[in-house]
Structure 1
Amino acid sequence: MDASDGHADREWRLIREEAWPGPMNMALDEIAAETAAAGGPRTLRVYRWEPRTLSLGYHQDPDTVDWDHCEREGVGVTRRPTGGGGIYHDSHGDVSYTIVAPADELPGDLVESYHELCAPILDAFERMGVPARFAETERPARHQPACYLRELHPAHDVVVETDGEERKVSGNAQHRRTDAVVQHGSLTYAVNAERHLAVFADASVTPAAFRERVTGIADHADVSRSEAVGALEAALADWADATEGSWTGDELERARDRASEKYASDEWTRRRPGRR
């Protein structure tokens, strides 16, 4: 990245792929935002979800979840501070990332901000040989509770055109605080339609219909998951001229407290739409 792009002259840390439970992943994003807002380093992170997790959108109705299935199969459930539908994450099919920076260092316009922060994501796909781009058409939703089956949005949905159809390969969302911006997203490495759909209470969508709308990195490039993670980490690091870093002990302690008090609580996860 050229220093004139405006990010390389600031302090960025890259936290390479780690595995955390869902509530801890969301808590770490929040703590990273507090660190950046307080004058600390901006954060780029790549991560897995262990155990496998259903992350709900901020406004999602908890009745859309098959809670019995999730408990029986050991699928964790948490709620994101960002909107959209639910996403099933496991340690093979999903690669997740977060970018965190002070709000005054990013465009105020939402679409501009998405396009700036998605630049390294598109670069990562290019490094893998996956012809990904922003969606160009707004396709109608097939299953509103599932993020990957909602309507496509050109601002933040990344697709690969296959057989003349745009299939979603990455969803990205922002939580815009007054002092910091958190953008996190999911890159699909391998599609497991059956497991993805099983976490939802309404099973009216078939796996075949899911595959018509969703694709994965492994469908388009001969790269292993670890190679895909490496491409994403390299693209993020080059974009911000970041140095490899880690969480401080204080950040981890605060994140564990935040995860326990907020992101793992029924009050947060089973919250009804409209409640804060």
Structure 2
Amino acid sequence: MSELADREWRLIRDVPRDGARQMALEEIAARTALEDDLRTVRVYSWEPSTLSLGYRQDADTVDWDFCDREGIDVTRRQTGGGGIYHDRYADISYTIVAPADEVPGDLMDCYELFCEPVLEGLRRMGVEADFASVEQSSIYQPSCYLRDINPAHDVVAPTGAETDARKISGNAQYRQRDVVIQHGSISYDREPERHVGVFDGDLEPATFADRVTSIREETGGDVDRETAVETLALALGEWCNADVDGDESTWREAELEGARELADRKFGADAWVREREVLEAGERREV
């Protein structure tokens, strides 16, 4: 368990949702942490498959025709970095939400603390993963998985491979109303063609495959996706001694309603996705 295990936490094994709703729920969880003294860890997936843009990423880096043709949703995260293609099957995502005054003020120390359960979950699956031991230069800036590999927050496998290690998880943090929110993407499998296809650039799928590994590849296919999700969920729950099966181990109706409203006027609105503009309450979502 971590030093945060004496607080009130809940573990949410979330159902698949669209990208706008998934991002909105993080902000709603931040409100709950501050107003109700209830912190959140969760695992989730994206339905439909979604490209999440980094906060400052230029919308022109997206191949909008490809996304439309392939039925891929597009949203924009609050965190920086490059875009991530979250495949409905190949991606496993997680969120950790806690008040800022309870966690290390140093960003790197906070990453180290919040990534403990991620690394533990991968270890339990038989994946030798850790923070990158050396930097690797960027291949393609608009893509999170093809940017420079940073030892501060990028998780690679196998350990000890140095420049030959490949990225298996990207993690990012932001602060919202005195709350720290960390989310991350873990590759269960790889979809190189779709991951490079969502970007408006001259990229070969082999470029992605050479830089990225996955749980499925590292375990020789011995760990199915359902087992991987549950293993990560249990590692997160044990890390903070969360309520895993009680009344609080799911979203409240008021939270879901708040997320619907926030998704409509922010994370699902064309104004936010393309220009980082947040609609006022009551303005219509553009589709």
* TM-score, normalised by the number of residues in structure 1: 0.95
Q: Please state which structure has a larger fraction of its residues in strand.
A: 1
Quote the Cα distance in structure 1 between the aligned partners of 2:177 and 2:251: 23
Distance 1:16 1:41 in 2: 16
Specify the alignment match of 2:259 in structure 1.
Answer: 255
**Structure-1 residue corresponding to 2:283:** none
Q: Percent identity?
A: 55
- AA at the equivalent of 1:199: V
Distance in 1 (CA, whole Å) between partners of 2:105 and 2:77 is: 22
Within 2, Cα distance between the matches of 1:140 and 1:194? 22
Matched, 1:21 2:25: no
Residue 47 of structure 1 corresponds to which residue in structure 2?
44
Aligned to 2:124, which of 123, 127, 142?
127
Quote how far apart the aligned CAs of 1:17 are.
3.4
Is residue 59 from structure 1 mapped to residue 59 from structure 2 by the alignment?
no
Q: Does 1:182 align with 2:186?
A: no
In the aligned structure 2, how far is the partner of 1:178 from the partner of 1:112?
20
Corresponding position: 1:232 with 2:225: no
Equivalent in the alignment of 1:157: 154
Provide the rounded CA distance (Å) in 1 between the counterparts of 2:154 and 2:162: 18
The aligned counterpart of 1:207 is 205
Deviation at 1:163, TM superposition (A): 9.3
Please, which of 252, 273, 282 is the counterpart of residue 269 of structure 1? 273
- The structure 2 residue matched to 1:246, chosen from 242, 246, 250, is 250
Give unpaired runs (5+ residues) of structure 1.
Answer: none
Letter of the 2:262 counterpart: R
User: Counterpart in 1 of 2:190?
Assistant: 191
Cα distance change on mapping 1:132 and 1:271 into 2, 3 Å: same
Moved more, 42-51 or 163-172: 163-172
Distance (Å, rounded) in 1 between the aligned partners of 2:66 and 2:204? 17
Task: Return 5+ residue gaps in structure 2 as ranges.
Answer: 278-287
1:75 aligns with 2:72: yes
Helix, strand or coil: the match of 2:122? helix
- Displacement over 2 Å in runs of 4+: 161-164
> Residue 30 of structure 2: SS of its match in structure 1?
helix
Q: CA deviation at 1:164?
A: 6.0
Which one-letter code corresponds to 1:219 in the other structure? E
> In structure 2, what is the Cα distance between the partners aligned to 1:249 and 1:25?
15
Cα distance in 1 for partners of 2:182, 2:74 equals 20
Q: Determine if contact 1:54/1:76 at 8 Å carries over to the other structure.
A: yes
Output the amino acid matched with 1:176. R
1:39 deviates by 3.2
Paired residues, number: 269
Between stretches 175-184 and 227-236, larger displacement belongs to 175-184
3-state SS of paired residue (2:14) = strand
CA apart distance, 1:178: 4.4
> Amino acid of the residue matched to residue 214 of structure 1?
V
Aligned CA RMSD, in angstroms, stands at: 1.4
What is the deviation of 1:88?
A: 0.5
Deviates more, 1:33-42 or 1:224-233: 33-42
SS at match of 1:19: coil
Alpha-carbon separation, structure 1, partners of 2:36 and 2:27 = 15
**Partners of 1:186 and 1:91 in 2: CA distance:** 12
**Distance apart, 1:177 and its partner CA:** 2.6
